[in-house]
């Protein structure tokens, strides 16, 4: 079975889909087979994947989700699952089936508070979880303030607030494809390495 990583956080706009797509490209480029499962009815991951055509993407929901995720994990080395903002029962079952949960959060109190349900679910299901600070502004204390609040399960690596992430998403690409030597590309590589190192 391939490794299943679920991207979840109740708050919309935290960056679940953006972070997932950047990492998907990174891992694919390292030679790993990557399958995507889109549980968000908004379907933005599916649209991104259809612009590329190099990763199978299954749009799924409700009772189908578990079997679709496991079917993907039988075929691919790595399965990345994108979640909608709210998905109580479905999210719990998905977290149970996952090897790792990545919870992106912007460094604001509202995003950090919104982490509580998913952190609690992962703890109950005994699935490892890492919080990833996303859209970190280039200056100011926001990231450090967030790190003072969230101490457990927080990745040292973080993603900056960068236009190239938005530009890349819009054309079905990753930042590393548009700007291979950018800070954005090296951030994504560092996050991937940190997630690879988690058992
Ligand atoms: N690191 C980032 N830098 C710049 N814009 C970002 C970044 N992460 C997310 N965004 C933007 O924020 C918005 C919400 O991101 P998205 O990935 O759709 O969040 P979610 O999937 O959690 O709802 C999108 O417009 C996206 O382009
Ligand atoms: Mg999304």
pLDDT digits (tens, 9 = 90+) for 92-131: 999 999 999 999 999 999 899 999 999 999 999 999 999 9
Average pLDDT over residues 58-76: 96
pLDDT digits (tens, 9 = 90+) for 175-192: 999 999 999 999 999 999
pLDDT digits (tens, 9 = 90+) for 69-89: 999 999 999 999 999 987 688
Of 8, 10, 11, 15, the one to substitute when testing ligand 1's pocket (max ligand atoms within 8 A of C-beta) is: 15
Could you tell me the two tokens for 172? 């079905």
The whole-number pLDDT of residue 65 equals: 96
Q: Where does ligand 1 bind, in terms of residues with CB under 6 Å?
A: 12-18, 134-135, 159, 161-162, 165-166, 169
pLDDT digits (tens, 9 = 90+) for 31-56: 999 999 999 999 999 999 999 999 99
What average pLDDT is seen over the chain? 96
Q: Using an 8 Å Cβ cutoff, are 82 and 20 in contact?
A: yes
Q: Does residue 131 sit in helix, strand or coil?
A: strand
Taking CA atoms, 115 is separated from 21, 27, 53, 129, 176, in Å, by 21, 26, 32, 11, 28
User: Where does 3-196 sit in CATH, by number?
Assistant: 3.40.50.300
Ligand 1 centroid vs 71 CA: distance in angstroms?
28
Name the CA radius of gyration of the chain, rounded. Answer: 15
Alpha helices in 53-182 (DSSP H): 65-75, 88-97, 109-113, 116-125, 142-149, 163-170, 175-178
The whole-number pLDDT of residue 87 equals: 64
Q: How many other C-beta atoms lie within 10 A of the C-beta of residue 32?
A: 15
Question: Beta strand 78-82 with 56-59: parallel, antiparallel or unpaired?
Answer: unpaired
Q: Which residues lie closer than 8 Å to 87 by C-beta, 6 or more apart?
A: 8, 39, 94
154: left (phi over 0), alpha (psi -120 to 50) or beta: beta
Average pLDDT over residues 6-13: 94
């Amino acid at each position: 079975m391939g490794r299943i990583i679920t991207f979840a956080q109740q708050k919309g706009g935290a960056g679940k889909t953006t972070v997932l797509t950047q990492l998907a490209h990174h891992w694919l480029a390292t030679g790993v087979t990557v399958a995507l499962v889109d549980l968000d009815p908004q379907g933005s991951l599916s649209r991104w994947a259809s612009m590329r055509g190099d990763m199978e993407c299954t749009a799924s929901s409700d009772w189908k989700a578990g079997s679709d995720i496991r079917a993907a994990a039988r075929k691919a080395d790595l399965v990345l699952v994108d979640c909608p903002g709210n998905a109580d029962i479905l999210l719990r079952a998905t977290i149970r089936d996952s090897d790792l949960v990545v919870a992106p959060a912007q460094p604001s109190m509202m995003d950090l508070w919104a982490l509580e349900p998913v952190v609690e679910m992962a703890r109950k299901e005994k699935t490892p979880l890492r919080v990833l600070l996303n859209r970190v502004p280039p200056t100011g204390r926001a990231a450090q303030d967030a790190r003072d609040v969230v101490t457990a399960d927080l990745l040292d690596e973080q993603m900056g607030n960068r236009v190239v992430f938005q530009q890349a998403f819009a054309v079905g690409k990753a930042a590393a494809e548009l700007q291979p030597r950018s800070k954005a590309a090296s951030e994504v590589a560092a996050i991937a390495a940190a997630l690879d190192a988690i058992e």
